[in-house]
Amino acid sequence: MVRLQKVESFYTQLRESASSSSSQNPLLIFPSSSDVDSLCTLKIITHVLESDSIQYSCFPVSSFLEIHKYAGQALCSSSDGNSSPVTILLINWGCHRDLRFVLGLGSAARVFVVDSHRPIHLHNLSDENHQVIVLYTDDDERQADLAYDFDVLKLANESFHLEEESDDDYESGSESQNGDGDRSSKSRRWC
């Protein structure tokens, strides 16, 4: 994640990413269907997007399976030039899970997250995760229920780095009998 601490820079990156997508892949907005606050956020963000002439599609969802239903193979798109990038905005849900893994994101997919719920998965906060961008302001950090006596961002980066190393070791060194319990095969099942 590029942990953005200002709403303006978050929106600028969202707008640039959505603008780079083709007309066949507009910005896909997935608000929580079970959260009233997500409706208010959706109303605000769609007004701003319309004022900037950004195309979008909105699908209220309650599970990751529903995202795959609407986004399909676009989530797995790679930056090799054969497929256009996809930009997704999750409103008030999703931050508690490792989004790169759960969504099986390809290299051309970017997920932006506005989520007031806590906790936030450490991999979503890592500076090395360039596919997930979370709006996490200084106010969010100050209003946390628990003040940490360690650097959360440093922990997130280390966690992400260890995960990357273990995935590389698994792919290069061992073969799975049936793929059950294998993180890399689970993330590929969508593609």
What's the number of domains the chain is made of? Answer: 1
Asked if residue 44 is part of any domain, the answer here is yes
Distance between CA atoms of 124 and 183, rounded to whole angstroms? 17
Is residue 14 assigned to a domain? yes
Residue 26 lies in a domain: yes
pLDDT of residue 66: 92
Question: Do the beta carbons of residue 13 and residue 68 sit within 8 Å?
Answer: no
Q: What is the pLDDT of residues 133-173, one digit of tens each?
A: 988 776 666 665 556 666 666 777 677 767 766 665 545 55
Query: Phi/psi at 113 (nearest 5 deg)?
Result: -130, 125
pLDDT in tens, 42-75: 999 999 999 999 999 999 999 989 998 888 877 8
Is position 170 within any domain?
Answer: yes
Structure tokens at 176: 């799975």
| CA-angle at 130, arms to 99 and 160, nearest 5° | 65
pLDDT of 14 reads 92
Is residue 146 a part of any domain in this protein?
A: yes
Q: What is the predicted pLDDT for the residue at 46?
A: 94
Give Cβ neighbours of residue 124 (< 8 Å, ≥ 6 apart).
1, 95, 98, 99, 113, 132, 134, 156
Q: Which residues make Cβ contacts (< 8 Å) with residue 183, sequence separation at least 6? A: 101, 167, 170
Half-sphere exposure of 77 (CA within 13 A, CB side): 22
Q: Is residue 107 one of the residues assigned to a domain?
A: yes
Q: Which two tokens mark 98?
A: 């490792």
Structural domain including 114 reads: 7-188
- The CATH number linked to 23 is 3.40.50
pLDDT exceeds 70 at position 189:
no
| pTM assigned to the model | 0.76
Query: Is 152 part of any domain?
Result: yes
Residue at 2 is within a domain: no
pLDDT digits (tens, 9 = 90+) for 114-141: 988 777 888 887 788 888 998 877 666 6
Mean pLDDT of the chain: 77
Cα three-residue angle 130-136-138, rounded to 5 degrees: 130
Check residue 75 and give its pLDDT: 81
